[in-house]
Amino acid sequence: MAKLKKDRKINIIDTTLRNGEKTAGVVFSKHEKIRIAKMLDGIGVPEIEVGTPALGEIEIDIIKAVLKSGLKAKLFAYCDADIKAIETAAEIGAKNVVINISTSDIHIKKIYKENRTWLINKLREAMRAANKLELDFIISAEDATRTDLEFLLKLISLSKKKGAKRFRICDTVSKFDPFRTFMNISTINNAIDFPLEVYNHNDFGMATANGMAAIRGGAESIVVSIGGLGDGTGNAALEEIVMALRYLENVELGIETAKFREIAEYVAKASSRAVPIWKAIVGTNVFAHESGIHADGVIKNPKNYEVFNPAEVGLTRQLVVGKHSGSHTILHKFKEYDIDLTDKEANDILALTRSMSVDLKRPLFDKELMYIYKDYKSSAKKGD
């Protein structure tokens, strides 16, 4: 299967500060928002959604501060398709806005309690306002994956005609798998020559795969967040998309990935959500090997069980000694402490290690290994 063209330009826009913060229970302080924006900018993320001005004074104060912090990244304010919200964004100095509107019949009927004609007018008014205020804008179609395709195409051509920069397709309820996503985006892409952006939720664990499928289908831009932080199950994770592009598609975005772990940790603290140790790309367990087969393979050659070097994302490799360890791990582990075990010693210590690990229901610390070794040696002496 052909990979993407190497020179293909893919944009990412990070929404940690907007949809990430919208997660029920997550609140960033002003200081944290500025810090996160700087971190994203520092590693080379080209576009950032900063916040929602319509929330009022507190949020406006924070957005202003981020706008003024001298970042290279293009900064977006997020607005509903509402003239007042767009005016507020312009007043506080935003140059770029995302204008969001729900486009599925179910949302039009149940949330707006209106019809499609009303929606088109609302979108027109919003774009008129944005143009009048000389804002660059992206139109975001919420629940686009449950929107009638013909109607969606109509909205995209309208947005194109009125000067939008891109059109965002939101899979708000995680309706699609990668195949449907690919078909959907290719179909739209073939029908209208206009830059598409995708926004995926992770309700069935497919946000990243759907984002990648959309890119394969011709989307130019993808919405991400650090660690996938976002309302409900969250969004496509920044670190997963960047690394998947690099290693599965050979597309290099030029992001400084060595900072991924550090940034993930910062956002975890600010959002009061620990990074799961098994989190793809940045979890501390991703480069921890315990089972005999895996650890043995990694000791012989990391390539056996690793696609990239841990340092590339700011992690380190660990050999964990526990129930599933094999004698090679024991030999290797003791070599770290300048102790050369014989094969017999390694096997005996392995048996002791396994049984202790099962008793404790956890792997052993290096120190505990040393105790086992000392006990073993002294009992072996007695036996002599």
Retrieve residue 24's tokens: 């029920």
Considering only the stretches 42-50, 56-64, 90-98, 133-141, report the one whose residues sit in contact with other proteins under the rule CB under 8 A. 56-64
Q: Which is nearer to other proteins, 94 or 207 (CB)?
A: 207
In whole angstroms, give the CA distance from residue 334 to residue 319. 11
Closest separation between CB of residue 326 and other proteins, Å? 10
Site for other proteins in 263-282 (CB under 8 A): 272-274, 276-281
- Say how far apart CA 198 and CA 159 lie, in whole Å: 16
Nearer to other proteins, 73 or 196 (CB): 196
| Shortest distance, position 164 Cβ to other proteins, whole Å | 21
Enumerate helices (H) and strands (E) in the chain, giving the number of each.
15, 10
For the bound state, the minimum distance from the C-beta of residue 161 to other proteins, rounded and expressed in Å, comes to: 27
Task: In whole angstroms, give the CA distance from residue 252 to residue 173.
Answer: 30
The C-alpha atoms of residue 231 and residue 16 are separated, in whole angstroms, by: 10
Measure the CA–CA gap between 20 and 27, rounded to whole angstroms: 9
**Locate tokens 């105790």: which residue?**
371
Q: Would you count residue 189 as binding other proteins (CB under 8 A)?
A: no
Nearest Cα neighbor of 143 from 183, 189, 110, 182 is 110
By rule CB under 8 A, what count of residues binds other proteins? 99
Nearer residue to other proteins within complex by CB, 80 or 348: 80
Q: Please, which residue, 259 or 289, has the CB nearer to other proteins? A: 289
Out of 38, 74, 107, 154, the residue judged to bind other proteins by CB under 8 A: 107
CA distance between the termini of the chain? 64
Letters for 31-50 (x = contact with other proteins by CB under 8 A, - = none) are --------------------
Question: Which residues, 12 to 31, sit near other proteins by CB under 8 A?
Answer: 21-25, 27-29
With a CB cutoff of 8 Å and minimum separation 6, the contacts of 360 are none
Question: Residue 290 interacts with other proteins (CB under 8 A)?
Answer: yes
Q: What share of the chain is helix, strand, coil (3-state, %, to 5)?
A: 55, 15, 35
Query: Residue 261, interface with other proteins (CB under 8 A)?
Result: no
Shortest Cβ 25–other proteins spacing (Å): 5
| Contacting residue, 126, 237, 313, 330, with other proteins by CB under 8 A | 237
Which residue in the set 15, 16, 140, 172 belongs to the binding site for other proteins (CB under 8 A)? 172
Q: How far apart are CA 248 and CA 320, in angstroms?
A: 28
Site for other proteins in 300-359 (CB under 8 A): 300-301, 303-307, 318, 320, 322-324, 354-355, 357-358
CB 212 within 8 Å of CB 248: yes
d(CA 51, CA 58): 11
Burial profile 190-199: b = 16 or more Cβ within 10 angstroms, e = fewer: eeeebbbbbb
177 binds other proteins per the rule CB under 8 A: yes
> Smaller CB distance to other proteins: residue 226 or 288?
288
Nearer to other proteins, 16 or 52 (CB): 52
Binding residue for other proteins, selected from 103, 140, 159, 208, defined by CB under 8 A: 208
Of 95 and 180, which CB lies nearer to other proteins in the complex structure?
180
Site residues for other proteins, window 113-142 (CB under 8 A)?
Answer: none
Q: CA 28, CA 59: separation in Å to the nearest integer? A: 10
User: 177 or 375: whose CB is closer to other proteins?
Assistant: 177
How many other C-beta atoms are found inside a 10 Å radius of the C-beta of residue 384?
Answer: 4
